[in-house]
Every structure is written in C-alpha cells, then in structure tokens.
C-alpha cells in the first residue's frame, strides 16, 4: 500500500515541471494538478476568473493569490486527489504556500516533498520557446529536444493536431523568469526550513531527471 502523497514541483518556466509531473502521474498513479492548466481552462471557458487572469498571464506576471487559491481549492476538493497529488506550478508565492499548509492541515495531510528542479536560467528561453503539446492528449514535445517518432503524429495518441502556448515566446518567458525569481524562488528556503526540500539537477536528459524524481517519490510514498 502506498501513502497518499502531496508533492510540489518547484522550478522556473522550462524546468520540466509539466513533463515530469505527467511521467510521475503515470508511474505512481498520482494526480497532476497544474494551476497553469486550470487557469488556461478558465480563460478558455470565459469565466470571470479567467477574464481577470488572461491579461496577467499574457504579460508573464502572476495571477492574484485569491483567484489561484479559489481554483486550487475547488480542484483539491475532487475525489481523485485522495490518490495523492503532484502540484505543478503551485505554490508560487509565500501567501500561496501558507494557504496550502492550512488547507492540508485541515485535511489531516502534509507535504511529502517539495522538489526543486534546478536549471540554468540561460537555457530556459530556448527550452520554452521550442515547446508544443499534442492538442488531444497533452503530451509534450520540443522542436530541438523531443520530436514525435513519426513527424506530425503524437507518439501517445496518434493525433495530428498540436498546439503552442501563447505565453511561450521569448519576451513573455523573460517576464515569467523574473516573476519566478522575485516571488517563487524564496519558497525553496521556506520548504528547506520545514525539512521537506529535495533538489534535482534538471539540466540533463528527461529520463534521467525522471529517474531521480522517481527515487524521491518512492521514498515519500513507501
Ligand atoms: P504555467 O503553466 O505553470 O507556466 O503557468 C502559466 C501562467 O499562469 C503563469 O505565467 C502565471 O501567469 C499563471 N499561473 C499559473 N500558476 C500560478 C500560480 N500558482 N500563481 C499565480 N499565477 C499562476
């Protein structure tokens, strides 16, 4: 029996949080919970929160804690999250980290591990600018680092439709990196202080990073 775990992936845009969260989801049966995905869904659905978030997201800033926390709490209330969650892109501010602590405490849960994906900033603009996903299943690809085995066909589901995010351009990525360093990177010390921080060198091959992460998750869920 594995313990239900709450894992946090910390790292700047392009560090590989989404890619790695999807791999952990598959390997450990955990649920990937990406506030970026939830916000993009709110924007697409045209909700009030989505309308407010849209301008901030396209400028590379951070959406207000109020909106993000409301979306996160709704998602955490769904039954599948009892299998354990991988938080991808949340928390991003001290306020969000504290609110998460309160939410978990109220549910009798705690953070299994906050894992920092350590990367060189300089490489992130290229990583982010070249990435795209399958429009059907969300599998991630990259112009230079990970092309589908058959050009134009998703390895996972066979779809021939792909999409790129509007905020994955060089200018917005620089603003997103700034937001990360100003508001999110301090959370590394926050979790270190709580004794739950792990660090992974995320500059290497996707599969090697995945193996390092799997070792941490195995320990946390054992
Ligand atoms: P991501 O998909 O994680 O790269 O997030 C895309 C964008 O959504 C970010 O650049 C922010 O504008 C917004 N966003 C996602 N998660 C959060 C969060 N936890 N707090 C504030 N803004 C967020």
Contact 119, 215 (CB under 8 A): no
What band does 156 get if pLDDT is binned at 50, 70 and 90?
very high
**Does the pLDDT of residue 2 top 90, yes or no?**
no
180 lines ligand 1 (CB under 6 A): no
108 pLDDT band, cuts 50/70/90, is: confident
pLDDT per position as a tens digit, 163-209: 999 999 988 999 999 999 999 999 999 999 999 999 999 999 999 99
Q: Is 56 in the pocket of ligand 1 (CB under 6 A)?
A: yes
User: In angstroms, how far is CA 78 from the centroid of its own chain?
Assistant: 18
- In the structure encoding, which two tokens stand for residue 102, read together? 């309160």
- 39 near 68, Cβ under 8 Å? yes
Nearest to 33 by CA among 94, 77, 93: 77
Distance 179 CA to ligand 1 centre (A): 10
Asked whether the predicted pLDDT for residue 4 surpasses 80, the reply is no
Q: How far is the CA of 154 from the centre of ligand 1 (A)?
A: 26
Going 135 to 138 to 139 to 144, the CA torsion angle's sign is positive
Q: What is the pLDDT, as a whole number, of residue 1?
A: 34
Cα(27) to centroid(ligand 1), Å: 25
Helix or strand or coil: residue 16? coil
33-61 pLDDT, tens digit each: 999 999 999 999 999 999 999 999 999 99
C-beta of 90 in contact with ligand 1 (< 6 A): yes
Contacts of 24 (CB under 8 A, 6+ apart): 7, 30, 32, 86, 210, 213, 214, 217
Question: pLDDT at position 40, please?
Answer: 95
Strand order in the sheet with 31-34: 31-34, 85-88, 6-10, 113-118, 197-201
Q: Quick one: pLDDT band at residue 118, thresholds 50, 70, 90?
A: very high
pLDDT at 7: 97
In this predicted structure, what is the pLDDT of residue 196? 96
Buried residues in 41-50 as b, exposed as e (16+ CB within 10 A)? ebbeeeeebb
Q: What is the pLDDT of residue 3?
A: 55
Residue 14 in tokens: 């392009």
User: Could you read off the pLDDT of 57-85 as tens digits, one per residue?
Assistant: 999 999 999 999 999 999 999 999 988 99
Shortest-distance Cα residue to atom 5 of ligand 1: 36
**Rounded Cα–Cα distance for residues 219 and 96 (Å):** 26
Return the closest-CA partner of residue 65 out of 91, 84, 88, 32.
Answer: 91
d(Cα 92, Cα 53) in Å, to the nearest integer? 15
Task: Please enumerate in sequence order all residues whose Cβ is within 8 A of that of 96, keeping only pairs 6 or more positions apart, or say none.
Answer: 65, 68, 69, 72, 90
| Active site amino acids | 17, 92, 131, 165, 176
- Longest CA pairwise span in the chain (Å): 48
């Amino acid at each position: 029996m594995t313990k239900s775990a709450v894992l946090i992936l910390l790292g700047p845009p392009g560090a590989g949080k989404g890619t790695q969260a999807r791999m952990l989801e598959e390997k450990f049966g955990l649920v990937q919970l990406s506030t970026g995905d939830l916000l993009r869904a709110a924007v697409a659905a045209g909700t009030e929160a989505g309308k407010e978030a849209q301008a901030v997201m396209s400028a590379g800033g951070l959406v207000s804690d109020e909106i993000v926390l409301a979306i996160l709490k709704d998602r955490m209330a769904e039954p599948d999250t009892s299998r354990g969650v991988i938080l991808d892109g949340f928390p991003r501010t001290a306020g969000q980290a504290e609110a998460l602590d309160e939410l978990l405490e109220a549910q009798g849960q705690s953070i299994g591990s906050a894992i920092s994906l350590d990367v060189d900033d300089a490489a992130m603009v290229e990583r982010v600018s070249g990435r795209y996903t399958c429009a059907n299943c969300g599998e991630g690809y990259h112009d230079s680092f990970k092309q589908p085995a058959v050009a134009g066909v998703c390895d996972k589901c066979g779809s021939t439709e792909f999409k790129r995010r509007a905020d994955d351009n060089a200018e917005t990525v620089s603003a997103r990196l700034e937001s990360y360093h100003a508001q999110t990177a301090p959370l590394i010390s926050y979790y270190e202080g709580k004794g739950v921080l792990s660090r992974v060198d995320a500059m290497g091959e996707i599969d090697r990073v995945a193996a390092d992460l799997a070792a941490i998750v195995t320990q946390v869920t054992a």
